């Protein structure tokens, strides 16, 4: 056997062992978002609070492992990127979530179906993540363009003197800003009210405007704070 062939076999064996010895990680979350700013910053803020809460009680509550990745990709390509992240990860994630908006993507419904088919959980928003943020303050079932939701958030940030008085996508503390006056619990309540009549068997997410299932992921994570 030549030296080159031996080297190739050893390299292949190491690569095989790399994937064979992945460790399942309890309470682990991989969150992959379409957006590169607001969504990952929101969940990084929630992650920070969780680690602060359970970090001192590791003997009672296992610290959850949470990875947040903002990829800035279209819906279909986001699923492909998630596949790649999962394949290359050193652990087996217990919970894998993909977040994306409808915006103007034509593959919105098919991407949701494909993500679910591959075993991922999908927290979609129609039209945008900004609708989910709006629900932290008020309820609405009005079908508005994403730019309109941005404008409404502008008015709210000015009204409540949040941040610098203007809604921006790059606030590092966006989670805390919208959680003023218990906004996250309010958003969960409002989202559940809006989605109560949504039936995946009869309703397409692209036609359910406005709508969001982000609350499902937030509820899973908030239990670590609320316990």
- Helices marked H in the chain — which ranges? 3-20, 38-54, 75-88, 108-117, 129-134, 146-159, 174-178, 183-195, 214-226
**How much is the pLDDT for 10?**
55
In a domain, 68, yes or no: yes
**Percent of the chain with pLDDT strictly greater than 70:** 85
CA angle, 162 as apex, 160 and 167 as ends, to 5°?
A: 110
**How much is the pLDDT for 96?**
93
Residue ranges of the chain whose pLDDT lies below 50: 17-19, 56-61
**How much is the pLDDT for 55?**
64
**How much is the pLDDT for 226?**
87
User: Taking all residues of the chain, what is their mean pLDDT, rounded to a whole number?
Assistant: 86
In a domain, 29, yes or no: yes
In a domain, 82, yes or no: yes
- Domain extent at residue 57: 18-226
Whole-model pTM: value is 0.85
In a domain, 13, yes or no: no
In a domain, 2, yes or no: no
**How much is the pLDDT for 9?**
54
**How much is the pLDDT for 153?**
98
Contacts of 134 (CB under 8 A, 6+ apart): 140, 149, 152, 153, 156
The domain total for the chain is 1
Distance CA 9, CA 227 (A): 50
**How much is the pLDDT for 60?**
40
């Amino acid at each position: 056997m030549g030296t080159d062939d031996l080297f190739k076999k050893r390299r292949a064996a190491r690569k095989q062992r790399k994937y064979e010895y992945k460790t399942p990680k309890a309470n682990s979350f991989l969150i992959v978002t379409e957006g590169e700013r607001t969504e990952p910053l929101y969940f990084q803020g929630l992650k920070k609070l969780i680690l602060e809460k359970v970090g001192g009680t590791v003997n009672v509550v296992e610290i959850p492992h949470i990875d947040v990745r903002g990829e800035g990709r279209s819906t279909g390509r986001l699923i492909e990127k998630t596949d790649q992240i999962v394949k290359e990860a050193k652990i087996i994630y217990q919970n894998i979530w993909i977040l994306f908006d409808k915006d103007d993507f034509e593959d919105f419904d098919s991407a949701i179906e494909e993500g679910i088919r591959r075993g991922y959980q999908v927290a979609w928003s129609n039209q945008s993540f900004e609708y989910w943020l709006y629900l932290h303050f008020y309820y609405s079932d009005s079908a508005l363009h994403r730019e309109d939701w941005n404008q409404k958030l502008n008015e709210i940030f000015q009204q409540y003197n949040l941040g610098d008085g203007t809604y921006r996508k790059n606030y590092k503390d966006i989670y805390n800003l919208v959680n003023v006056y218990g906004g996250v619990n309010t958003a969960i309540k409002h989202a559940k009210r809006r989605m109560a009549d949504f039936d995946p068997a009869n309703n397409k997410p692209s036609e359910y405007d406005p709508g969001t299932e982000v609350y499902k992921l937030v509820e899973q994570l908030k239990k670590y704070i609320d316990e």
